[in-house]
Structure 1
Amino acid sequence: MNEKLGDRLAMLRFLESVQDRDLARTRRWIQEMERLIAEQARRRPPPPPPDWVVQYGIGGRAVRPAMVHTAQCWVPGGSMEGISRTQAIEALTSGGVPPCILCRPEKELGVLE
């Protein structure tokens, strides 16, 4: 009986060594794939800058947006997020978000005139 337990233990140790090698190989594959993905991301051109920006006041996205700007507006403040033309129009018309009084995004968008 004791001999059978020793044989089982030897088999389990062998299985453990096989699984360790398999796990090490899998981890190498994962590292290689992560390296390839990072390399591809570095080669990709950056996304184009947004044409429109929504500004959030104190509290960030947890509160209602404070203002809509053109992306070229120099007015800093709060957190800013790029938005699409459609989102900018929606924010200005039905969203109740005021336009910046300096860059006047509503004129470029052709709304609220």
Structure 2
Amino acid sequence: MSETISRLDRLRIVHEWQAYQPGRTDRTIAELEEREAAAARTRRKQRPPAPTWKLSVLRAGGGAQADAVHMGDCSMSGTRTQAMSREQALRTLTEHGITACPYCRPDRELGVL
């Protein structure tokens, strides 16, 4: 024996499904909003990009003395460094007579030979 579903029963099924959908949509929206908020928090916490150029500084006898210009990712620069723009690095090498790091060779990248 096959039972047929009446039109009224079909409409009730559709109505139940439609009543279920807003809750499901609300949960999905909340989940996506939380993901976006977490991604925004992560972006805020991330460190700024490493400088392209940096100046290593030596501390001797209570004063600071510039040592050498380095590329931003040079591991030979030490812990005391100052970030520099390309223009500052060029000026430091050419006008102030500070040497270029012999390991990372920023003078080649800057076109100062």
Instruction: Please indicate the TM-score interval, normalised by the length of the shorter structure.
Output: 0.5 to 0.7
- TM-score normalised according to structure 1 size: 0.54
Q: How does 1:4-83 map to 2 (within 5 A)?
A: 43=44, 46-59=47-60, 62-83=63-84
The answer as to whether partners of 1:51 and 1:85 remain within 8 angstroms in 2 is yes
- SS at 2:75 equivalent: coil
Partner of 2:102: 101
Decide which structure has the larger Cα Rg and report it.
2
Aligned residues: 72
Give CA deviations for 1:1-50 in whole Å, capped at 9, x if unaligned. Answer: xxxxxxxxxxxxxxxxxxxxxxxxxxxxxxxxxxxxxxx9x847643321
- Given residue 64 of structure 1, which amino acid in structure 2 is its aligned partner? Q
CA distance in 2 between partners of 1:63 and 1:77 (Å): 14
Q: Which runs of 4+ in 1 moved over 6 A?
A: none
The verdict on how the C-alpha distance between 1:43 and 1:73 changes in structure 2, with shifts beyond 3 A counting, is closer
More strand by share: 2
- Given residue 55 of structure 1, which amino acid in structure 2 is its aligned partner? S
CA distance in 2 between partners of 1:78 and 1:72 (Å): 12
- SS at 2:100 equivalent: coil
- SS at 1:101 equivalent: coil
- TM-score normalised according to structure 2 size: 0.54
User: Does structure 1 residue 92 correspond to structure 2 residue 90?
Assistant: no
Identical amino acids, percent of aligned pairs: 36
The verdict on how the C-alpha distance between 1:46 and 1:110 changes in structure 2, with shifts beyond 3 A counting, is same
The answer as to whether partners of 1:57 and 1:77 remain within 8 angstroms in 2 is no
* Residue ranges of structure 2 left out of the alignment (5+ in a row): 1-40
* Residue ranges of structure 1 left out of the alignment (5+ in a row): 1-39
**CA RMSD for the aligned pairs?**
2.7
- Given residue 101 of structure 2, which amino acid in structure 1 is its aligned partner? C
